[in-house]
Chain A
């Protein structure tokens, strides 16, 4: 009985609310990597670090799905363990960037002209340093610990999130119901969180996905340069770096982690493009 009452509205909305094949596929890829990041390391912790039995830089086989690395370790285990760093660090940095960007934007939109101008100018100056350059400067100054990496990526991608959120919030702020709320004497915090925020959450979530892709690419590049996640921890960028010796022979050890990055970023891109309902992209 409960089943039918829940099923009915879903059935009626199905033409608009369903994922298409491509969207479903990219969702599956994304969920796989998320799952790998959460429970992967505990599942294959025992077999992961055993070395010496397999040849170095072995090709893809039934035993070693992704081949073996420069020490003869199983590459699939290394990639799954790396998922925690790649996905985890990037996700925290993205959440920090989008969250604080949105909050600052709400503050700018709900407050007066003066605070808005100051905030916007200050955040604009952040964009006059290219992203990778800023990351190099930060790593040179503070070393590449996990908090530094997260904070650096968050600072680099905060201005973009702020700009989008601000332009959305300013439009909402001009709506009649916000004026009404203001007239009836609601405080600034109420306007920000109860009137404006619920109306910009949708587009900001889509933007969060795109930003996540940029952060993954930036962190992978840093690790590839040896300036990101430090050994013994290894994200996918570090895996490419430490197996660079396989390049002249075209070993799987260097291709597989690179392809894992590509599968993650392309899956997020495709998922956003194929979200059910109206297109959310284009706010950027």
Chain B
């Protein structure tokens, strides 16, 4: 690790923090400033000037927007984003009960999808043009160009309706026994994996093929190295940067995918909580969930950036 890499990595980190700050301002502006008077919206038709003024006072709407933004941001940072408008319970508590479920779902999906996608992508690049490559790449294009809920619907039709292997909807997350755990996670994980593997595999394949076109690969081939050695020992180390980027991009896609999957399978996670919040226009809940997802997204993108900086041989041996 040399100083240049450290400097570039720190720059990325600083950039991510600034972006997060800008995003928080954007989220606040869209949800709390632009739609107009929140107190008026909450009271609706019954608003009298007195109740309106009282509620405004209570919600702190009488102070200017920058001050409200500052209060909101410091509340978020100290872990107290306020109470839900609908249930009147602290948003932090609502999230705390849902977050482990979502993280577990994401973790299982990542453990299954990433290795699978890398192996498929590298194999497709090695045997590009073969029947295997055509089937895998064609399947990936098909999966990418249909909505996630179609993939989920097909999974339900095949495994629950036709084969009767799994229940159609998972109403509770049960960790009591491995069998029950498998039953509640199989369908959501399978759907998410399908979509993620398709994305990641395409990008991995493209990254490896890009390297295989480089002149130094021709040199390695002329030297008489086996195809396996060409890809694994020579092309792959140089494709680590783009592949890390592809993985992170797809993981950030996971953040969008869980919104659909948690909803269709009734999975009790943060994303379905947020969708309910949006439907009921529960602003504190929506804001907090949005910031949580955006922070996770920026973290993933930054990690990918830093990995591709560290993996760049031209920077490593300077």
Q: List A residues at the B interface (Cβ < 8 Å).
A: 125, 128-133, 136-143, 213, 217, 220-221, 224-227, 237, 240, 244, 247-250, 254-255, 258-259, 261-262, 265-266, 269
The reply to whether B27 and A240 contact each other, CB–CB distance below 8 Å, is: no
Q: What's the Cα separation between A132 and B279 when bound, in Å?
A: 15
Top 5 A-B pairs, shortest CB-CB distance: A132-B256, A262-B146, A258-B150, A140-B278, A140-B286
Evaluate whether A240 and B145 lie within 8 angstroms (CB atoms) in the complex, with A131-B256, A133-B294 already known: no
The reply to whether B153 and A227 contact each other, CB–CB distance below 8 Å, is: no
Which single residue of chain B is at the shortest CB-CB distance from A266?
Answer: B145
Q: What's the Cα separation between A261 and B154 when bound, in Å?
A: 14
Which residues of chain A are within 8 angstroms of B76 by Cβ–Cβ distance?
none
Q: What's the Cα separation between A266 and B141 when bound, in Å?
A: 9
The reply to whether the CB of B201 lies closer than 8 angstroms to some CB of chain A is: no
Q: Would you give 27 A-B contacts (Cβ < 8 Å), ordered by A? A: A125-B22, A128-B301, A130-B252, A132-B255, A132-B259, A133-B256, A133-B294, A136-B286, A140-B31, A140-B281, A141-B34, A141-B283, A217-B147, A221-B260, A224-B264, A227-B278, A247-B157, A248-B161, A249-B161, A250-B157, A255-B157, A258-B147, A259-B150, A262-B150, A265-B146, A269-B141, A269-B145
Which residues of chain A are within 8 angstroms of B142 by Cβ–Cβ distance?
266
A-B contact sample (18 more), CB < 8 A, given A133-B294, A142-B35, A224-B149 = A128-B20, A130-B255, A136-B274, A136-B275, A136-B278, A136-B286, A139-B278, A141-B283, A142-B34, A217-B146, A221-B147, A224-B147, A225-B275, A247-B157, A248-B168, A250-B162, A255-B153, A262-B146
Q: What's the Cα separation between A256 and B10 when bound, in Å?
A: 51
Evaluate whether A137 and B297 lie within 8 angstroms (CB atoms) in the complex, with A131-B256, A248-B168 already known: no
Q: Which of B27, B35, B147, B264 contacts A220 (CB 8 A)?
A: B147
Which residues of chain A are within 8 angstroms of B34 by Cβ–Cβ distance?
141-142
Which single residue of chain B is at the shortest CB-CB distance from A265?
Answer: B145
Evaluate whether A129 and B23 lie within 8 angstroms (CB atoms) in the complex, with A136-B275, A137-B286 already known: yes
The reply to whether B146 and A261 contact each other, CB–CB distance below 8 Å, is: yes
The reply to whether the CB of B315 lies closer than 8 angstroms to some CB of chain A is: no
Q: How many cross-chain pairs have Cβ atoms below 8 Å apart between A and B?
A: 125
CB A152 to nearest CB in B, in angstroms, measures 10
Per-residue interface assignment for chain B, residues 147 to 168, with 1 indicating a CB less than 8 Å from any chain A CB and 0 otherwise: 1111001001100111000001
Q: What's the Cα separation between A265 and B148 when bound, in Å?
A: 13
Instruction: Give the interface size bracket for B toward A.
Output: 35 or more
The reply to whether the CB of B293 lies closer than 8 angstroms to some CB of chain A is: yes
Q: Which of B31, B153, B252, B298 contacts A258 (CB 8 A)?
A: B153
The reply to whether the CB of B277 lies closer than 8 angstroms to some CB of chain A is: yes
CB B95 to nearest CB in A, in angstroms, measures 15
Q: List B residues at the A interface (Cβ < 8 Å).
A: 19-20, 22-23, 26-27, 30-31, 34-35, 141-142, 145-150, 153, 156-157, 160-162, 168, 252, 255-256, 259-260, 263-264, 274-275, 277-279, 281, 283, 286, 290, 293-294, 297-298, 301
Q: Which of B23, B30, B150, B162 contacts A141 (CB 8 A)?
A: B30
